[in-house]
Structure formats: structure tokens, C-alpha cells
Amino acid sequence: MAVGALGIATSGVFIALAGVSPATATFFRCALALPILWPLARMERRREGPPHRRHGMVATLAGVLFAADALLWTQAVFEVGAGLTAVLVNAQVVIVPVLALLIDREPISRTYRLMLPLMVGGILLTAGVFESVPTGTDPLRGAVHALLAALCYAVFLFLLRRTAHAGPPVQSYFVICVSAATVAALWRGMVFAPGWPALGWLALTAACGQLIGWLAVALAAPALSSTVSAAILMLVPVGALALAALILGENPTGLQLFGCALMLAGAYTAATRGYRDQSAG
């Protein structure tokens, strides 16, 4: 899952370089992944059979939420910056385990509860809450869009784990991408011919974010608890902030770097100890 998280971390930078509308970015990042996912899904179908109808409906809903997350998130990339958007969206570190506790009665480990303030503190510092960080065109609107995306993102992650647990993960992920691409195609601002340079960056987004990133997360999710998964996905904002600094010139401040260190320390402790506890149980 760590490899998947690092793949997802590249998405914000590539989308910023593509310079297209949120709908266009969301459509192409999903649609360009489908030709690779299709044969993988067919092989899985021959091996494991098709998913149940209810399973497909949950995957479709997850795709709609992924599209909503991606649309809001892509808009926020331009308004508050690629690195900080990824950080704000990762309020999922709180929401996903709470959903798993309330709906699936999955307990939250003591280690995770102890590390959660550390990770949340890291999120706040890295997001620049305690200082002025002039990146993006409209930081306030961007923060609102990123937090709304966080809610969609958290529910999507919860449903992604459920579909991966209940049925064939690649087929479910294929349905998610089809559903998300369909929603994006109907959204305002969709451009079906964004130009070759933009398509190149969007193809990289599809390859790194959708195929290497989210597919790896979908395959790994059934083997991990919600708290371990949420902790490992904290690599996304740290990686995104580093790439945004290297490629886009969004240079982090000292407090932001300290926030990254807090997130990494909290995520590493929560993930490693949580995995040991899960294996022992």
C-alpha cells in the first residue's frame, strides 16, 4: 500500500502541469486507465467469477464519490496549491477509522488513538494554518473545496475497502473508474480535446495515480485494518508536498517541514504497531 500512496502523491503535480479543468482531469485520469484495467478485470472474472449486483452498486457509488472528491480536489489544486490540497484532503485519517468503528464495529487501536493527535497536528502545520502561505489563486475557497473533497474521499476509501473485502477487487475498481469517468464527462467545463501536452500529463496521472496508486491500494486494502490503511495513506500528502516543492516551486516553510515529520512519525508508528497487533490478533 505504501507504493500505492506514493503513486497517488504524484497526481496533484501532474494535474497542475496539465492545466485543465477539474472535470477534464478527472475524466482522463480514469478513462486512460481503463484500457489497462479491462484485461486485468477480465482475467480476474475468469478466475473468480463476476461480482454480485449489490457489490457492483456499492462500487458504482464509490466511483461517484471518487469523482466528487477528484473534482473538488482538482479545483482546490489551483486555488490553494497541489501540496497543501493533498494535506487538507487527508482529514481521512480521522474520518475513515470513525466510519469503520460506527458501521463495521472495527475497533480503533490504542496506538492509533495515541498517534492521531500527532498526525492531526502535522496536517495543521503542513497546511499552513499557523502562518501565511501564499500559494494558489484563492486559498480560502481552496481550503473549503479540499475539506469537502476530504469527506467524499473518506467515504470512498471506506467503500473501497468494503468492495475489496466482499468481492473481486480489480473488477470493482474497474467499475469505480467507469463510474467516475461518466460523472466527470457530464460535469461543467469538460473538454474532450485538451491538447497533446495536457494529455501527456494526464496519461502520467492515469499511470501513476490510478494504475500504480489506487489499484495498489484496492488490492492491499483487504489485508489491512482501516487504521493501518489510513495511516499509510498519510504518505500521500508528504510525497505531494515534496514533489510540489521540487517540480512546481511551492517551497515549504520550516513549520510545514516539521508538520511532515510529525505526520511521518505518527503514521509509521500507527501503521507498524497496528499491523503487528492485527497479525497477532
For residues 236 and 242, give the distance between their C-alpha atoms in angstroms, rounded to a whole number. 10
Instruction: Find the range with the poorest average confidence among 134-148, 169-183, 252-266.
Output: 134-148
Q: Where are the domains of the chain?
A: 1-279
pLDDT tier for residue 56 given thresholds of 50, 70 and 90: confident
* Cell reading at 246: 521540487
Q: pTM to 2 decimals?
A: 0.83
pLDDT at 114 exceeding the cut of 60 = yes
Q: Name the region of 136 (left: φ>0; alpha: ψ -120 to 50; beta: rest).
A: left
CA-to-CA separations, 36 to 116, 145, 171, 197, 265, in angstroms, rounded: 37, 31, 12, 21, 35
The half-sphere exposure of 193 on its side-chain side, counting CA atoms within 13 A, is 0
Distance of CA 234 to the CA centre of its chain: 10
The grid coordinates of residue 143 equal 481550503
Comparing CA positions, the residue from 78, 71, 98, 66 lying closest to residue 13 is: 78
The mean pLDDT value of the chain amounts to 84
What is the Cα gyration radius of the chain?
Answer: 18
pLDDT value of position 29? 95
Overall average pLDDT of the 36-48 stretch: 94
pLDDT in tens, 3-31: 888 888 898 889 889 999 989 999 999 99
pLDDT at 126: 75
Report the pLDDT value the prediction gives residue 129, as an integer from 0 to 100.
Answer: 66
Res 265: pLDDT: 87
Q: Is the pLDDT of residue 132 over 70?
A: no
Q: How confident is the model at residue 145 (pLDDT cuts 50, 70, 90)?
A: confident
Read off φ and ψ for residue 261, nearest 5 degrees.
-65, -40
Instruction: Say what the pLDDT of residue 281 is.
Output: 52
What would the pLDDT profile of 173-232 be if each residue is shown by its tens digit? 999 999 999 999 999 899 999 999 999 999 999 999 999 999 998 888 777 777 778 778
pLDDT at 83: 61
- Which residues, including other chains, have CB under 8 Å from residue 206's CB and lie 6 or more apart? 28, 29, 30, 31, 32, 33
